[in-house]
Structure 1
Amino acid sequence: MASTTVAGRAVPLTRRTRQRAGSAYPYWFYLPAAVVYAVLFLLPTFASFYFSLTRWTLFDQRFIGLENFILFFQEPALVKGLTNTLIYAVVTSGLKVVLGLALAVLLTSNILATGFLRSAVFFPVLVSTIGVGITFTILMHPSRGLINDALGVLGVQGPAWLTDPSMALLSVAFVDVWKGVGLATVIYIAGIVSIPREYLEAARVDGAGPFPVFRHILLPLSWPATATVIVLSLIGGLRSFDLIWAMTRSGPGFTSDVIASVIYKQYQAGFYGLSTAGNVVLFLLVTAVVLPLTWLLNRREVQL
């Protein structure tokens, strides 16, 4: 008779137990989540691929093949939007990694009011993106903004944060980092806390200072958290739209255009099939960037 081991003892498996073990009954509990996932993600995704090949309105559609994609790649603002999207994603993800790790190291050390400081760092994540955009638009006003007023007290001439074509996109990127670094910090805190204390205690016994401990223990062993922050930040940066639109409307001119804002303008103009094709292109771009990067990051993690 077949048996299994429970608490170090061999327990025979009855016929009913074997039938229950091979039953499909537990898998039925996956069904509600699978239905929700299919309805809210899979069906809209496949529908988008289909409608990107049509010229459609709310009541009519006509199949036109790849014409929408051809027109989308002929869009004059596309090259600028693609360049800005990549710059925005790299800047925001890079700063979130660096600042998130630095804050996590600080907030897991022996300092006063750790709980309050963790809450304060995470609080911007909970605030509405549009609310943050409107607030910082006022704060960054070139002549009446609080930020430039504070710089003026220090004798520094504040720049035109959102109206200077060379600074508008980076200004929005810094606000994005301020809002999102709290999530990166929480992920890093979880990664640092999960490191076995024995490693840190052994390093202290060997006389290692803070920098060697950070370089040889915290940095490599928190790599899974780093990989997570990089992937999530890049996905958010490549898809970013709401904060940029709330603060600059892709201006001045088209200097802060990103792919998502190009798509939105096409939708506003009534070119629904063209904007759907743009969404498909954006989906493929994010996939083409994130999947290889995730594979490389996971490969690095296995080697550690």
Structure 2
Amino acid sequence: MPTSPLPRKWPAVAERGMGRGLAALFAASEEGEPARQELRELAVELIEPNPKQPRRDFDEGALQGLAGSLAERGVLQPVLVRPRHGGTYELVAGERRWRAAKLAGLATVPALVRERDDAQALELALIENMAREDLNPVEEARACAALVEELGLTREEIGRRVGRSRVAVSNLLRLLDLPDEALGAMQRGDLSEGHGRALLLADDHAARRRLARDAAEGGWSVRVLEQRAREAGTGVTARAASPKGGTHVPHPDQEAAAAEIAHTLSAALGREVRVRPRREGYTVELTVDGPEDAATVARYHPRSPGAISSVG
């Protein structure tokens, strides 16, 4: 049973060193495109938010703090907009500053006005959001999904744009397989991205919902949740099939060893790994996205490329 009786708040995002600055992001998304921009002072009421902005939640306390700073010093970094019909402008990047400027009662904000098509605007808005450190994992996952669905980018292309590995992007996208209750807990900070990956070890949505609720209320660590998720599915407490027929009831020490192996492999490979005790040894199961992903996994065991016997 968990030892912590009180729920705890988990950081919205893991440490990942993604901050690159908007200038670098603009350059990365516009290689070979001639600059067509103009710096203006625009009325805040003429600017509208991007309807495809993946970020839905803005911390009111943080916005109030930023509004106080803007009221005193003004908006130092311009927002990025594109012209729309009727003399209005749509935000491409900088919605947090625009919202804070409105709270501060500012009449105008500095803005870089650039002509962009929908695809360019969406890509830059998503990449700008992915580079920020205060985005929660669910918002990041939805941003990645939009880059895949709307622009047809591969996981590797997304990773290059936002400074993350292809495996990390794949792990984010898998979070969207979780039920809404689990996603909501991650958005509130009750569960971390690591908790979300642990929930994926459970086989069905009902178990994932129950485990997400119990983990958030009990303040479970990721490791505890991993163990509970395996037990809820076909994990280490289930009877394991014997190669000689019949079933094998694992010894508690073998169950503990299987859980430890699964935790170690999951951390090393950056993906969900399930380990099942057998009468002789263990069965290791993991999911790969395709041949390229399988080759990446195989590099962890170069002397025995055929050692991974079960992939899905």
Query: TM-score when scaled to structure 1?
Result: 0.22
Name the one with the larger strand percent: 2
Please tell me whether Structure 1 or Structure 2 has the larger radius of gyration of its CA atoms: 1
TM-score normalised by the chain length of structure 2: 0.21
